[in-house]
Chain A
Amino acid sequence: MSIAIPSPSALNFLAGLFAGAGINMLTSVSTGPPDPEISTLKVALDSALWVIAAAFLTWAAHLLEAAEREADLYIAKKFNEAEKKELRQEYRSRALRRARLPLVLTGLSLVSAVLLLPGLIGWHRVLGG
């Protein structure tokens, strides 16, 4: 069974979205009207988590991209299509193994960032504050 491995460009695109979300959040707080309901520190932390998630995802995309480049350099003209396909798949699988850490870290950052979104969960109520 072959695993569908995301392409580096898709990961980079997602990373761009995450970073954009984080930065957008920061700029909207800094340029928008002050809201006593929302803690600026919490927003800053949340936006930082978005950016960190983007950074981890870029790391993962870089690993996959490097693997593709490796595969390109290894593949010779005389290789047949099946060999080329398998080699690329093999390099990607290896890269995916190396990319586990950044992907897990992306997931964690992302979950934390979502949970910290202002207004999504009233943490003071949940924690009985």
Chain B
Amino acid sequence: MTDEPPDGWMTVNALGPEPDAFKLLGAARQDLLVQLPSSGGRRAALHVLPEASIEFTDRVGHGLVVRVEALGGATEVRLSETALRAASTSASAGITPLVLLSCALSGEALRAEWRPQRVGHAQLPSQATLDYYSRLHRVTPGSSKVAEELAAGHDVMVVGDHGCGKSALVANVAEQRLDQGDGVVWLNMSDPADGPASIVLALLQQDSSATGEYLVVLENLHANLLVRNTLFSCLERLRSDFGLRLQVLATSWKSAAALLRHGEPNRALKSVLAEGRQLINQLLVGSRLDDTARATVRSLAQNDAHIALTAMELYGTLGRVPTEADLEEHYTRAVTGAGQQEALYRLACLGVLEFQMAVREAGRLRQPLEQLRVAGLVYLIDGAYQIGPRRRAQLVMNHARDRWDADQRWHRPEEIVLMHLHHGGERLMKATLSRLDLLVSPDEARPDSLYLLTSWDILIRLGRSLRSRNAADPTWGDNLGAAVFAASALRQLNHPDAWEEIANWLRARWDYADPGCLLPEPVDGETADYADFVEIQQSMVEEDTLLGAEPHLAGMVAGQLDTGRMYRNWVLGLLLGFEGSAPPQHYDESRVKQLVEVAARAREDDGNFYPARVPWVTARVVLGLCQADLRMDHPVVRDACNWLMRQVAQGGPFDNWWRSGTGSWNREEATTAMCLSALVRAGVEMRPGMQTAHAWLMGREREWTIPGREIDLSQVLEANLHCTATAAGTREHLQTLFHRMRTEMKNPTLLPTAPEERLRIPFVAAQLADIVWSIVQMESLKLYGDLFNHRPPEPPEVPQQRVAPVPAESPNRKLLTDRQLRAWQRGVEQIEQAIREQIAMRDGPVRTSAMQEAVDQLVNDRKELFVLTELLDGEFDVDPLARIDALGRRICEETWPELPWPDPPTQREPER
């Protein structure tokens, strides 16, 4: 891939390809001096002296030595020849000579292995944004405390919830400082490219302040915890080397603040709590709203000052306090056309998790986003489009999902966020993972890291290793299993080109296009892994011999096995998974449809996939169907899952857990893990039988942790994750698995005697990628609460009772419509999420008896909810609904929505 030369290197680029060192350094010096802002007697905060010297030395290589000075000191940095060559030839990173200098000054080692990476720019918010902040800002106890601490010469960190007015407070201080003649550097840490070099770059570009004082604003410090150490080290260096009088004013979540305070001793940040409630009170004091309207605004705003301000402004036009629906309308006003709707929805989904959309990433949405910006519905700050505060993003997202059918038209919010992370590059992913590693929620730091970041690093290396193996042989030795699992891992690790290479071979190797075909058929003979199934049959014969006269539980002896049919059923599951999870640009709906039709023809009468003796074949097909986005509402999935859960006595495979049916070839632990994963992924609730199997599986830890059984271990970890919906019990074993895979990558041991070995690495890699992604999704949802799940109550389809009926006075049996049922199910999800969050926020270093009681109460609530959920069906007693409602009101408090109550049967079937 050729890279266009970046801007700012005119003289260097004029030299042509591969100039010699002397010419390169001379030209680079000229390019650097051109970029300096010190013309016309101006002097930058960090002033570059024009006499940059060229240094030739064999010891550390040639370089350009630049002297930079400020009022209180000076220092020299060296721009190496290799770094200059790398920076001047890579346009994607956009490293200009001045940016390269800021990288060097910020402490980056510009050695031979240095690779240019984009550096974010520290820019003050636009005047319009500052004006908005000044409308929002009021003097509160928090703002007075900030002023006091800053006056005392301390560095300050403003902590608080979303929408509490942190940024407005900081913007107010920044404006005051600018008026005094101080310099201000404003860095929004939401862009993962923002870091120490961004601050240095800003100081190199902006004029020296009149007072010699500088305020460095670090907005949303929690967004990129990875750079916190280098950032503060750089600030210390700027103070010590250049004598710059810098004061730091940061904003952050409460939980991240605790981490930052526990950092290095020289980081004496004073935390000041900003409370949305106080700011809203101050905003209301100056308004003309009466007491009732004020109370309604408070309740609507839920401590979000931005919402309160909008509500007060709308009060003037509407003549009443707006509702959430009014706010949604207001935030989506003047949106016309599908393009603008999609752009606003996607930006809202990202905004809910405080992500932004950089202008260069916007692509085809650039034009609609620009139109939205002009209409005042989105903002362009620091080279990225933003929707504004999180609550606003949530309202827009909900509106889009309700009114524009956004889920169906442009993916679900989780998918949009994950796609953004996928395409956002390594730094965005790492910043996100480090946040998940360290924080449970905005209020709570995590006592033990999840090691997601470490896991991700290893996964990246694993992906590269798989890609190089794949480049050598995309058929993986004509082994279908290895190729499919490798493709799955490569897709998840963002190597779509490698996936395509496998697809080209695989789609030509297996045929299922014939409308009447019963199973996929290989082209030009069986694929290599068929040999495994021949050995599997042998293993089954050995098992039968050991069983003696007792027939196998499934009633089938190995001699009756049709190996080809079993193999093709297994292949069917793999192909379903492969095509169902294809990257968007390679997704072929007709192939998925054909495979689903084949699955419908291939299943046995009782729902299983041949042979009934080997349940993992059925589980594999169910997993494939799930990857093709089918769940329990599809008859093939439902029947297969029901069969998997059927007891042996009733002709099923389940006997408190699942036996492999293939002798010693597969272990019972792996089979049970696979069946559990298949059931949970298909959407089967954790039934008592599944809980028993899960408990049995976890009790067999000594078996599945034996070295060499990585396939079993990865399957068990995935099943445990799905069954418990928490990463807590997975962490330690995940580390073990990663450690073994790292060793495996260093010293590959391919054992030709064990055919399973051929797919071990691709299989485990695919599982690991799956597990890490699942943890990321689970923990993201915990970190950001029930934002994605919470939706306002749907509009009534029939007149609804808004008040909980008294069970004693109304007939007990009621009917819920599908819509009502879904609303209650969402309510239950909300309660579950709230309970999980509340337990997590008490999971800290201190646990008192009152906290223990509260946790016990929450656990009991969860049990009660579980029982009530079991009763939640189309027709049932009103009492459980009233109990769910009471539980919701108690646990979710003001966020609990009004849910639709069922109509008494008398309204539907009048008494005769």
A83 and B846 within 8 A (CB): no
Give the nearest-CB partner of B254 in chain A. Answer: A73
**From residue A75, how far is it (CB to closest CB) to chain B in Å?**
9
A87 and B854 within 8 A (CB): no
What residues make up the interface of A, taking CB atoms closer than 8 Å to B?
69-70, 72-74, 76-80, 82-83, 85-87, 89-91, 94
Q: Which of B259-299 contact A (CB under 8 A)?
A: 271, 273
B848 and A72 within 8 A (CB): no
**From residue B607, how far is it (CB to closest CB) to chain A in Å?**
45
Q: Which of B415-457 contact A (CB under 8 A)?
A: 443-444
Complex CA–CA separation, A85 to B851 (angstroms): 10
Report if A83-B854 is in contact (Cβ < 8 Å); known contacts: A76-B444, A76-B841, A78-B838.
Answer: yes
Contact of A73 among B271, B842, B848, B849 (CB under 8 A): B271
Complex CA–CA separation, A94 to B846 (angstroms): 10
Contact residues in B for A82 (Cβ distance below 8 Å): 850, 853
Contact residues in B for A89 (Cβ distance below 8 Å): 848
Give the nearest-CB partner of B273 in chain A. Answer: A72
Contact residues in A for B846 (Cβ distance below 8 Å): 74, 87, 90-91, 94
Contact of B848 among A69, A76, A77, A90 (CB under 8 A): A90
What residues make up the interface of B, taking CB atoms closer than 8 Å to A?
159, 254, 257-258, 271, 273, 443-444, 838, 841-842, 844, 846, 848-851, 853-854
Report if A78-B841 is in contact (Cβ < 8 Å); known contacts: A73-B159, A73-B271.
Answer: yes
Contact residues in B for A80 (Cβ distance below 8 Å): 850, 854
Complex CA–CA separation, A74 to B258 (angstroms): 9
A86 and B848 within 8 A (CB): yes
Contact of B849 among A69, A79, A86 (CB under 8 A): A86
Contact residues in A for B444 (Cβ distance below 8 Å): 76
Complex CA–CA separation, A74 to B845 (angstroms): 10
B271 and A69 within 8 A (CB): yes
Contact residues in A for B443 (Cβ distance below 8 Å): 76-77
A-B contact pairs, 28 of them (CB 8 A): A70-B258, A72-B273, A73-B254, A73-B258, A73-B271, A73-B273, A74-B258, A74-B846, A76-B443, A76-B444, A76-B841, A78-B838, A78-B841, A79-B842, A79-B851, A79-B854, A80-B854, A82-B850, A83-B842, A83-B848, A85-B850, A86-B849, A86-B850, A86-B851, A89-B848, A90-B846, A90-B848, A94-B846
B159 and A87 within 8 A (CB): no
A73 and B844 within 8 A (CB): no
Task: Identify which of B838, B848, B854 gathers the most chain A CB atoms within 10 Å of its CB.
Answer: B848
**From residue B852, how far is it (CB to closest CB) to chain A in Å?**
10
Contact residues in B for A79 (Cβ distance below 8 Å): 842, 851, 854
Contact residues in B for A73 (Cβ distance below 8 Å): 159, 254, 257-258, 271, 273
Contact residues in A for B273 (Cβ distance below 8 Å): 72-73
Contact residues in B for A77 (Cβ distance below 8 Å): 443
Complex CA–CA separation, A12 to B848 (angstroms): 28
Task: Identify which of B159, B257, B444, B841 gathers the most chain A CB atoms within 10 Å of its CB.
Answer: B841
Complex CA–CA separation, A115 to B443 (angstroms): 51
Complex CA–CA separation, A76 to B258 (angstroms): 14
**From residue B268, how far is it (CB to closest CB) to chain A in Å?**
12
Contact residues in B for A90 (Cβ distance below 8 Å): 846, 848
B848 and A74 within 8 A (CB): no
A83 and B841 within 8 A (CB): no
Give the nearest-CB partner of B846 in chain A. Answer: A90
Give the nearest-CB partner of B848 in chain A. Answer: A86
Complex CA–CA separation, A79 to B159 (angstroms): 19
Complex CA–CA separation, A86 to B846 (angstroms): 10
**From residue A103, how far is it (CB to closest CB) to chain B in Å?**
22
Complex CA–CA separation, A119 to B257 (angstroms): 53
B254 and A83 within 8 A (CB): no
Give the nearest-CB partner of A75 in chain B. Answer: B443
Contact residues in B for A76 (Cβ distance below 8 Å): 443-444, 841
Contact residues in B for A83 (Cβ distance below 8 Å): 842, 848, 850-851, 854
Complex CA–CA separation, A82 to B271 (angstroms): 25
Contact residues in B for A69 (Cβ distance below 8 Å): 271
A87 and B838 within 8 A (CB): no
> Which 5 A-B pairs give the minimum distances between C-beta atoms?
A86-B848, A82-B850, A83-B850, A86-B850, A76-B443
Complex CA–CA separation, A126 to B841 (angstroms): 62
Give the nearest-CB partner of A85 in chain B. Answer: B850
Task: Identify which of B273, B443, B838 gathers the most chain A CB atoms within 10 Å of its CB.
Answer: B443
Give the nearest-CB partner of A84 in chain B. Answer: B850
Contact residues in A for B842 (Cβ distance below 8 Å): 79, 83
Contact residues in B for A70 (Cβ distance below 8 Å): 258
Complex CA–CA separation, A82 to B838 (angstroms): 16
Contact residues in A for B853 (Cβ distance below 8 Å): 82
Give the nearest-CB partner of B851 in chain A. Answer: A83
Contact residues in A for B159 (Cβ distance below 8 Å): 73
- Taking A73-B159, A79-B854, A89-B848 as known contacts, 7 extra A-B pairs with beta carbons closer than 8 A to each other, sorted by chain A number, are A73-B254, A73-B258, A74-B258, A85-B850, A86-B848, A86-B851, A87-B851
Complex CA–CA separation, A70 to B846 (angstroms): 11
Contact residues in B for A74 (Cβ distance below 8 Å): 258, 844, 846
Complex CA–CA separation, A73 to B443 (angstroms): 8
Complex CA–CA separation, A76 to B271 (angstroms): 16
Give the nearest-CB partner of B159 in chain A. Answer: A73
Task: Identify which of B841, B850, B853 gathers the most chain A CB atoms within 10 Å of its CB.
Answer: B850
Complex CA–CA separation, A70 to B844 (angstroms): 12
Contact residues in A for B254 (Cβ distance below 8 Å): 73
**From residue B454, how far is it (CB to closest CB) to chain A in Å?**
27
Contact residues in A for B851 (Cβ distance below 8 Å): 79, 83, 86-87
Complex CA–CA separation, A80 to B848 (angstroms): 12
Give the nearest-CB partner of B834 in chain A. Answer: A78
**From residue B160, how far is it (CB to closest CB) to chain A in Å?**
11
Complex CA–CA separation, A69 to B261 (angstroms): 11
Complex CA–CA separation, A82 to B850 (angstroms): 6
Give the nearest-CB partner of A69 in chain B. Answer: B271
Contact residues in A for B841 (Cβ distance below 8 Å): 76, 78
Contact residues in A for B848 (Cβ distance below 8 Å): 83, 86-87, 89-90
Give the nearest-CB partner of A66 in chain B. Answer: B261
Complex CA–CA separation, A79 to B851 (angstroms): 8
Complex CA–CA separation, A77 to B844 (angstroms): 15
**From residue B157, how far is it (CB to closest CB) to chain A in Å?**
11
**From residue A76, how far is it (CB to closest CB) to chain B in Å?**
5
Give the nearest-CB partner of A91 in chain B. Answer: B846
Contact residues in A for B838 (Cβ distance below 8 Å): 78
Give the nearest-CB partner of A88 in chain B. Answer: B848
Complex CA–CA separation, A18 to B254 (angstroms): 36
Task: Identify which of A74, A89, A91 gathers the most chain B CB atoms within 10 Å of its CB.
Answer: A74
**From residue B303, how far is it (CB to closest CB) to chain A in Å?**
8
Contact residues in A for B257 (Cβ distance below 8 Å): 73
Complex CA–CA separation, A72 to B271 (angstroms): 11
Contact residues in A for B271 (Cβ distance below 8 Å): 69, 73
**From residue A38, how far is it (CB to closest CB) to chain B in Å?**
39
**From residue B240, how far is it (CB to closest CB) to chain A in Å?**
26
**From residue A48, how far is it (CB to closest CB) to chain B in Å?**
27
Complex CA–CA separation, A78 to B857 (angstroms): 14
Complex CA–CA separation, A57 to B271 (angstroms): 23
**From residue B515, how far is it (CB to closest CB) to chain A in Å?**
58
Give the nearest-CB partner of A80 in chain B. Answer: B854
Complex CA–CA separation, A85 to B841 (angstroms): 16
Complex CA–CA separation, A29 to B444 (angstroms): 55
**From residue B782, how far is it (CB to closest CB) to chain A in Å?**
14
Complex CA–CA separation, A78 to B801 (angstroms): 30
**From residue B756, how far is it (CB to closest CB) to chain A in Å?**
49
Give the nearest-CB partner of A81 in chain B. Answer: B850
Contact residues in B for A86 (Cβ distance below 8 Å): 848-851
Contact residues in B for A87 (Cβ distance below 8 Å): 846, 848, 850-851
Complex CA–CA separation, A85 to B849 (angstroms): 11
Complex CA–CA separation, A87 to B254 (angstroms): 17
Complex CA–CA separation, A72 to B841 (angstroms): 13
**From residue B689, how far is it (CB to closest CB) to chain A in Å?**
35
Give the nearest-CB partner of B442 in chain A. Answer: A76
Task: Identify which of A80, A86, A89 gathers the most chain B CB atoms within 10 Å of its CB.
Answer: A86
**From residue A66, how far is it (CB to closest CB) to chain B in Å?**
10
